[in-house]
Amino acid sequence: MSEPATRYTGGCLCGALRYEAEGPPGACGYCFCGDCRKASGSGFIPFMNFAAGTVRFTGEPLLHRSPTGRGGEAVRNSCAVCGGLVFGGEIGNPRGHTVYAGSLDDASQFRPTMAIFNNSRPAWVPLPKGLTVFEEMPG
């Protein structure tokens, strides 16, 4: 008998937009790109990537599209009621979702292993030890 998959739950400030994700995330870390800094109002976004089929959402997200510094498009979702930023990606898109770790119910489940866009990290944000650091987006 195998162990049950780890379950991650979280949502917005008011609870109107929620998610459940099953299994290990594909990547966990900090993104220091200018787009994430502006979207979060902070020095970075702590993220966890999940395959599309492993995440279920309840509630209505307010979807935001914005151009990225690399020429692509960022899709971020916040709560339509309270405005809390919760996840990235479009529901139903097979590319998956980026859950913002600040929205986790249990913050101890976030175990970062990487930092991306370190070349854009503000000097006032310390880099945690033990991470694999990429100056840009890893290939």
Whether residue 139 lies inside any domain: the answer is: no
The number of folded domains in the chain is 1
Residue numbers of the domain that contains 43: 7-133
Whether residue 44 lies inside any domain: the answer is: yes
* DSSP of 71-125: SSEEEEEEETTT--EEEES-TT-TT-EEEEGGGBSSGGG----EEE-GGG--TTS
Token duo for residue 30: 């900090």
Whether residue 119 lies inside any domain: the answer is: yes
Whether residue 63 lies inside any domain: the answer is: yes
pLDDT 10s digits, 65-93: 988 777 788 899 999 999 999 999 998 88
pLDDT 10s digits, 14-49: 999 999 999 999 999 999 999 999 999 999 999 999
| CATH label of the domain that carries residue 94 | 2.170.150.70
